[in-house]
Every structure is written in structure tokens, then in C-alpha cells.
Amino acid sequence: MKRKTRSLLTFLTALSFVLCALNVLTLLTAAAQQNRDYPIQPVVFTHVHVNDKFWAPKLEINANITIPYTLQKCEENGRMDNFHKAAHEMETGKLTQFPFDDTDIYKVIEGASYAMEVKKNPQLERYIDSLITMIGAAQEKDGYLFTFRTANAKTPHEWIGTKRWEKEEDLSHELYNSGHLFESAAAHFQSTGKRSLLDIAIKNADLLVKDFGPGKLQIYPGHQVVEIGLVRLYRITGNKKYLDLAKFFLDVRGPKGTAYNQANAKVIDQNTAIGHAVRATYMYTGMADVAALTGDEKYLEAIDRIWEDVVYKKLYLTGGIGATGAGEAFGDAYQLPNMSAYAETCAAIANIYWNSRMFLLHGDAKYIDVLERTLYNGLLSGVSLSGDRFFYPNPLASMHQHQRSAWFSCACCISNMTRFLPSVPGYVYAQNNNDLYVNLFMGNSAGVTLKSGKVALTQVTEYPWSGKVEMAIDPEKTMRFALNIRVPGWAAQSPIPGDLYSYMGGVKTPITLLLNGKPVAYQMIKGYAVVDQTWKKGDKLTLDLPMEVQKVIANAKVKDDAGRFAFQRGPIVYCLEGPDNKDGLVQNIMIDPNAKATVSFRKDKLNEIAELAVQGSSTKRQLNTDALLKQDQTVTAIPYYTWANRGPSDMTVWIPYEASAARPQPAPTIASTSKVSSSLNNPRLLEAIKDQYEPADSKDTNYPYLHWWPKKNTVEFVRYDFVKEQTVSESKVYWYDDGPWGGCRIPLSYKVLYLKDGNWFPVSVLNNSGIAKDKFNVIKFKPVTTTALKLELQQPVEQSSGIHEWTVQ
């Protein structure tokens, strides 16, 4: 009897393996039956094994530190509890802060799946399996999966409405959650072959197909991403209803919605990038996917127009997008402030997704130029060198007010980084029949299957610090194909396509391309050096890109960069940071446009960097005179992505070369030398009110400011404690007011008090200019001798207040 049982168990085990294999085969066969797709296909990241000194350590840090750290933080901050409460395994109580917090779990599972596909990790795999069980327990019987509703909290989140999908076009994020679930499930299935998360996703997607579409709910997603997720499910299952629903969600969008989420016009009628930058670029990515799979030319025409608007008018030199924190949005054409740049990390990731798709559609290197710029600068800056500190916005200037954080209550950028980094090797190569594209340069070994046969590729390079790239091309047999090697725009003509940025003078060194040590004939096609020939085992191709230090200037229409340049070397944008420069200051530095920068490789600094040194000068003001004190100094520049790894500091990407753009160090005043304290406990914001940078107007965010948001209708204060007893008779305050869209307004009232014998007394006012924005509000009073002065203000009933500057005389 035992022998029969053992035989039965052996049979059932074998049968389960066969059924699992058939499931995988069925899904992959269905996917292969799709007729249309991108004309160019990426070489998947699992076929590209990165082994260089730049990217390999970053991928390891993400796998070994960032992913476990993010999972730990998700647990500590209640992300897992949301699912347990939705499954009624815990008392509901209070959920986390945002109804899209579920997606942090999905995105980390996606990242972990990619990482495990590169390197097996049984312990992590078991933990991910437990999370998938947790997710499945929270799913309702009909497939609905949204913990913030299913948990039945006593006080439901104000964004989710009283019934399903009721506030989807606004802020509920039910479909956004689904989109990230689908992407995560696709990655997990492709990595492990397990259907556990995929079945959950398909069940949820089938509910969406049942509820949305022609003759059903005519609702578009408030935050786009479900379109991308549905396409990924379609690719895996071959089930066209998912592709149809993705297209429906795009077609039903607009024209009566808001610009904030790109619903103010039909998607095919949009011409410019507007509104929330992440939502927008996820939508453009989804449009590219649907266009590739359906052949919709109107989608293509729209995203082509919008791409030109972004790259020609709205792209930061770092590749960042989203000029303003008001709506986390694109600004107007050429509106690119530096210190208040939003340039969200999620937007950088979405920008890479979009430009990758644009390349797959058009085969033009200009899209990879934008992708590479974003990858090495505006994206990498989002995570610390240690892998456990993060930026949400990525500004291009700072006066100590920006600091990397261990976590954000809205953690989308952190979890997004965990899923993106493991996929970086998948952007290196692409193929189309017998065209093989080399898009990015990093040390790796790869295997590619072309129409004519298999090719093994090896890159050996110190890129981005060196422009020399050695490639070994080893076809399995002697065969002909075209090798398309991207010649980066920065090495050929300009930093990026269009005229938004250009180089300041200088002679451009031509590239060198050798085959087996000899010059090889090639054609330049769409930014690629195309070597079309018969290849044999042992062929070696050497590309040498010029690595001169370039000075980049912005289009004259970018007012914030007038009279300034930025350093760039290869794909790397540089910045000046306080720890490397005299007195920890960089805002007061000026560099002659003809000054030559030298390069030194620093293995001991910031995880190995190429550092720049150049002669410049710094200036500072003196009391009671307009004359400036000028001092020559050696100026040091570091790669932008490495800044803020040594604490908050002074930083700038754009360096003045004209006196009109320079910001001399202010002269010391009573206020600037005082100790500042407030009812607000945020030292970085407190320092802003005495930095002596006068704003252009009350809503100017180019320099730091103090605010009490989100507190409303409260009495607040700010206080100066002087270095020594002073006799003062005037107070000047410049209010921060970001109306009509922001949350701060000028206060209802305020008063000035002075300290005497340990008590506060109001000053005796002689003249009061009143309360108004866009100018200094002045109170002149009878002179008082004191060691401290205090502003006390009443905030508006429905808004907060803030202060740009407060000076005393």
C-alpha cells in the first residue's frame, strides 16, 4: 500500500510539473501569436550580464540593500498591514496615508522578481511568495483588489468615495493600483514561472473588462499606468480584451477633464506636455505601446508632437522633467527654474520608459540620447550611493534646504527605483531582423538571436569615465548583419536634440571606429554608425568617443540660466557642491567662460568619480558699501548624481560666467547672524528667512522659504536671538504666498514683539505699511534695546502662511 501511495505521489508530482510547463507554454504561445508589435525589440535584460565598475555595483546595491530596505520600510510603515486588514486578519483601525500605498508592495515585488531572475535568492523568493499569499487573501471574490475599500475602515479615506470607481477620475487610484499589480505580476511570472500573482492580476483585469468599456462605465484613470499594465498582460496571455481595454482607457480620456491629469483634450488631439509629469509620461508610454500593437497612426502623431515639446522646451539638462511642485507638473515652455525644480524621480523613470518606446518605434538614436541623459543624471540622483536614502524632487540648485530622506509618506519614488534599476541592462541592446543596435555602453556579455543566427557580444569599457569601448563580436557562424552603434548626440553635435541646450565654443573631436585595429567604413543613419558586413568569430570593434569637458549653455529663452553655463563630460552633468569648495559655498562662485577644466579620477571619493577642477573666483558683499570683495580660488565640480551624499549643502549645476548672474555672499547683518527659532521645528526652512535672497514675488520658489503648511487658522511665530544686545527700530518681512493654486496666503494679521526682562512686549509702532504680497511689509517703531525680536502671525482660516525674508534694522 505504501509503495502504491509513493507511486501515486510521484505520478501526481510529475503531472503537476507537466501542467505547470503546459501553462507556461500556452501563455508564451499565445503571446507569440500576436501579429503587430514594435518594429525593434529590446534584448531582454536577462540576456545582458553587466560586469563593469560603474553599473554592476549599483545593481548589486539595489538587490542587496535597496530592495530589502524598502520591504522593511513597507512593513514598518503599515503597507503589509493594509492587506491583512483588507483580508480581515487584523482589526481595521487606521490604514496608511494614501490609497495608492498598495503599489509600493507591487513595485518592490516587481523589482525583486527582476533581481531574482539575474541572481537566484531562495530566501527572498520565499518572502515574496508570502507577500503574494497576503495579496491574494485581500482580493475580493470578483477580483476587486483595493485595500482602502475592502478593509471597511470606520472613517473611509476621503479620496475613495462611497462605491467602487466613484472617484476614479479624481484621486481614488483604484486603476493605478491595478496597473502596478499587472506589471508586478508579469515580471514575477516571467521571472519564476509561477502563476500565483499572475492569476490574481488576471482575475482583477477580468473585473475591469467586465466593468469598463463601450456600453459600460465610461471612466478614465485619474492616474495613468493601468494602460501599460494591461498591455503587459496582453503580451503574456494573448488575450486581446486587455489590449482593447487599454485603448479604451486612452480613448475615453478628455476633453472635459482637467489639464492636471491630461484629460482636457482627447489624447490624439494633445500637442504639448501639460499637467502632472508622471501621469503624463506614463500615458505617453501607454500610447506608444497601444500604437505599436494596433498600428494607430494618430497615437503616433500625438506622441511625436508631445516629445518635441518636452525635449525642445521643457527638459532639464539632467534629463529631469516637471518644473514645478504645484501639481508636480510641467511648466510653460522654457520655464526651468533650478532651486525649485521638481524633476521627480518617478518622472525620470517614466521619461526613460517613454523614450525607450519611442526608439523602438522609430529607430532613432535621439531617443536614446534623452534616455541616457536621464539615466546617468536625473534618475541616478534619486538614490544615495549607499542605496538607502532618497530624493523625491531632484533640484539643480540648493542652499542646504534639500536633503535625502530615509522614507517618504508618499514612497512612490523609492519603490519605483527598486523595480527600475534591475532592468537597466535591458536598455543596452536592441534588434530588428538582422539589425543589431548598441544603444548604451557598459561592460557586459550578452547573447542575441538575429534572423541570420546567434551572436555573442562582449563590451569592455570604463564608460562613463572613459570614451573607449571595446566590443567583441562572436557570431555562432560567419554571417552578415548590420551593427548599429549609437554615436551619442553629446559627442557629435549637441547635448540633446533641438536648440534647448548647446555647447559654448570648443572644437569637437571626431569619433574613432576601428575593426580589428583598422578604420572601418560605416554609414551614419539616424544617429548610428552602421557597419553592415559579414562578421566572423573573433572580430573586435573599438569605439573611441571624445571625452572633453564641455560647457553647456541654455537657450536664451530659459531665463533662469542666463549668464550661466554647466559642465558636462561624456553623458555626465556636473555640479558644484559645498563640501568641495571654499567656505562650503558655491552660489557666490563665478568662472570665466575660457577657463580650462582638468580631470582627475578619484577612487577614494563618492564611490569612484572623475572630478573636475578649474580656476574661478568668489565674491562677497561688505556692510555700507557696494564694493565687492573678490577672491580667486580653485573650483571643484563633481557628477550631479553624487551630490547630497555628505549631508545638506550648497549646490548648483548652472555656474555664472557673467557678473549679472552671480550671487555674491551677503554681508553679515543683525538678522543673518542671529539664531532663528519658530513654532515650526525645521532647521532647514528656518535658515531661509535670513539668507538675504530677495524673491521676485511672493510665489517665487527659486530660493528657500519658511512655511507652516498644512497647518491652518493658527497663531505661529518666528524669533531672532541676536548675537549681542542691539538697538532696533524697523522690521521688514516678505511673505510667501503661492495663490491661487497653492496652500499659503499672506497672514490675516501680524505683530512685532521684543524681549525685555524675560517677557515679550509689543513694539510701539510709528508706521505700518500694512499686509500685502509681492513686496516687503515694513513696520517702523520706537527704538528698543533688546537681545531678541519675535514675529507673531495669525494664519488664514483655510490656508497657511509663509515667509521669504525677515530683516531687522
Whether 684 and 791 map to the same domain: the answer is: yes
In this structure, is residue 606 part of a structural domain?
yes
For range 426-441, the mean pLDDT: 98
In a domain, residue 50? The reply is no
Q: How far apart are CA 638 and CA 717, in angstroms?
A: 39
Q: What is the pLDDT at residue 464?
A: 98
Summarize the confidence of residues 640-664 as an average pLDDT.
94
Mark whether 638 and 700 lie in a shared domain. no
In angstroms, the CA 204 to CA 194 distance is 17
263 vs 230: CA distance, rounded Å? 20
- What pLDDT, on a 0 to 100 scale, did the predictor assign at position 505? 83
- Tell me if 667 is assigned to some domain: no
**Does residue 626 carry a pLDDT above 80?**
no
Q: In terms of Cα–Cα distance, which of 580, 687, 671 is closest to 634?
A: 580
Contact 604, 363 (CB under 8 A): no
Place of cell 524697523: 730
**Residue 348 contacts residue 320 (beta carbons within 8 Å):** yes
CA triple 258-260-262, angle to 5 deg = 70
pLDDT at 400: 87
Residue 316 lies inside a defined structural domain of this protein:
no
Q: What band does 507 get if pLDDT is binned at 50, 70 and 90?
A: low
Could you report the per-residue pLDDT of 712-761, keeping only the tens digit for each? 999 999 999 999 999 999 999 999 999 987 899 999 999 999 999 999 99
The yes-or-no verdict on residue 15 having pLDDT over 50 is: no
235 grid coordinates: 503580451
State yes or no: pLDDT of 16 exceeds 80: no
CA-CA distances (angstroms) from residue 199 to 135, 185, 237, 350?
11, 8, 11, 26
Q: Is 292 helix (H, G, I), strand (E, B) or coil?
A: helix
How far apart, in Å, do the first and last CA atoms of the chain sit?
100
> Which of 550, 566, 567 lies closest to 558, judged by CA?
566
Interstrand relation of 479-486 and 435-438 (parallel, antiparallel or unpaired):
parallel
Count the residues in the chain: 809
Each residue's pLDDT tens digit, 748-771: 999 999 999 999 999 999 999 999
> How many Cβ atoms from other residues are within 10 Å of residue 780's Cβ?
16
586-611: pLDDT as tens digits: 999 999 999 999 999 999 999 999 99
Mean pLDDT rounded to a whole number for the chain: 93
CATH of the domain at 528: 2.60.420
Mean pLDDT value across residues 396-424: 95
| Domains contained in the chain, number | 5
C-alpha cell at position 337: 527654474
Asked whether 228 and 279 are in contact (CB, 8 A), the reply is no
Q: How far apart are CA 517 and CA 504, in angstroms?
A: 34
On whether residue 163 sits in a domain, the answer given is yes
Q: What is the mean pLDDT of residues 432-457?
A: 97
Q: What pLDDT does 401 receive?
A: 87
Q: Which of 7-11, 377-381, 587-591 has the lowest mean pLDDT?
A: 7-11
Joined grid coordinates for residue 294: 494596433
Q: Is the confidence at residue 299, as pLDDT, over 80?
A: yes
Q: Select from 639, 661, 683 the last residue of a domain.
A: 661
Residues 6+ apart with CB under 8 A from 642: 385, 606, 607, 609
Single residue among 237, 252, 267 that ends a domain in this structure: 252
Query: 808 by DSSP, 3-state: which?
Result: strand
Please state, in angstroms and rounded to a whole number, the distance separating the CA atoms of residues 775 and 695.
9
Per-residue pLDDT tens over the stretch 165-186: 999 999 999 999 999 999 999 9
CA dist., res. 140 & res. 136, Å (int): 9
Q: Is the Cα dihedral 92, 94, 99, 103 positive or negative?
A: negative
Contact assessment for residue 72 and residue 131, using Cβ atoms and an 8 Å cutoff: no
In 3D, which of 234, 240, 229, 330 has the Cα closest to residue 280?
330
640 and 679, same structural domain? no
Whether residue 705 sits in one domain with residue 641 = no
Of residues 464, 459, 471, 487, the one with CA closest to residue 365 = 487
517 DSSP assignment: T
671 SS3 class: coil
Say if CB 661 and CB 776 are below 8 A apart: no
Query: Residue 695 class from Cβ within 10 Å (0-12 exposed, 13-18 middle, 19+ buried)?
Result: middle
Q: Is pLDDT at 110 greater than 90 in this prediction?
A: yes
SS (H, E, C) 779-793: EEEEEEEEEEEEEEE
Under a CB-based contact definition with an 8 Å cutoff, are residues 96 and 79 in contact? yes
At position 661, the amino acid (one-letter code) is A
Please return the burial class of 373, using the count of CB atoms within 10 Å of its CB with bins 0-12, 13-18 and 19+. Answer: buried
Are 142 and 204 found together in one domain?
yes
* b/e code 200-236 from CB counts within 10 Å (16+ = b): bbbbbbbbbbebbbeeeeebbbbbbbbbbbbbbbbbb
240-245: Cβ within 8 A, 24+ apart: 241/209, 242/205, 242/209, 243/290, 243/293, 243/294, 244/213, 245/205, 245/208, 245/209, 245/212, 245/213
- Lookup: cell for 112: 525583486
The mean per-residue pLDDT over the stretch 93-98 comes to 93
Write down the pLDDT at residue 449.
96
Do 243 and 109 fall within a single domain? yes
Residue 355, in any domain of the structure? no
| Shared domain check, 538 and 463 | yes
Q: Which three cell numbers stand for residue 189?
A: 511570472
| Amino acid in the structure at residue 575 | C
**Would residue 489 count as lying in a domain?**
yes
pLDDT of residue 683: 76
Q: What percentage of the chain reaches a pLDDT higher than 70?
A: 96
Q: Are 337 and 701 in contact (CB under 8 A)?
A: yes
**Residue 790 structural domain:** 675-808
Q: What does residue 47 show for φ and ψ, rounded to 5 degrees?
A: -95, 0
The structure's pTM equals 0.91
Amino acid letter, 103: T
CATH number at residue 729: 2.60.120.260
The per-residue pLDDT for 659 is 87
533 forms beta bridges with 481
DSSP for residue 64: I
What is the per-residue DSSP string for 750-769? Answer: EEEEEEETTEEEE--EEEE-
Is 479 within the bounds of a domain?
yes
Q: Average pLDDT, stretch 363-391?
A: 98
User: Do residues 104 and 199 share a domain?
Assistant: yes
Residues 151 and 233 in one domain: yes
pLDDT band at 627 (very low <50, low <70, confident <90, very high): confident
Q: Is the same domain home to 163 and 23?
A: no
**What is the four-CA torsion angle of 718, 721, 725, 727, rounded to 10 degrees?**
-20
Residue type at 231 in one-letter notation: V
Low-confidence winner among 609-623, 631-645, 773-787 (lowest mean pLDDT):
609-623
The CA-CA-CA angle for residues 682, 686, 691, to 5°, reads 145
pLDDT digits (tens, 9 = 90+) for 523-558: 999 999 999 999 999 999 999 999 999 999 999 999
Q: Are residues 491 and 555 in the same domain?
A: no
Residues 159 and 222 sit within 8 Å (Cβ to Cβ): no
Contact at 8 Å (CB) between 451 and 434?
Answer: yes
How confident is the model over 17-41, as pLDDT tens digits?
433 443 444 444 444 445 789 999 9
* pLDDT value, residue 506: 66
Read out DSSP for 692-752? ----SSTT--SS--EE-TT--S-EEEEEEEEEEEEEEEEEEEEEE--TTTSSB---SEEEE
Residues 138 and 239 in one domain: yes
Q: Which residue has the higher pLDDT, 506 or 808?
A: 808
Half-sphere exposure of 191 (CA within 13 A, CB side): 29
Grid cell 534588434 in the structure block, residue: 431
How far is 437 from 485, CA to CA, in rounded Å? Answer: 6
Domain boundary among 595, 629, 661: 661
User: Do the Cβ atoms of 616 and 550 come closer than 8 Å?
Assistant: no
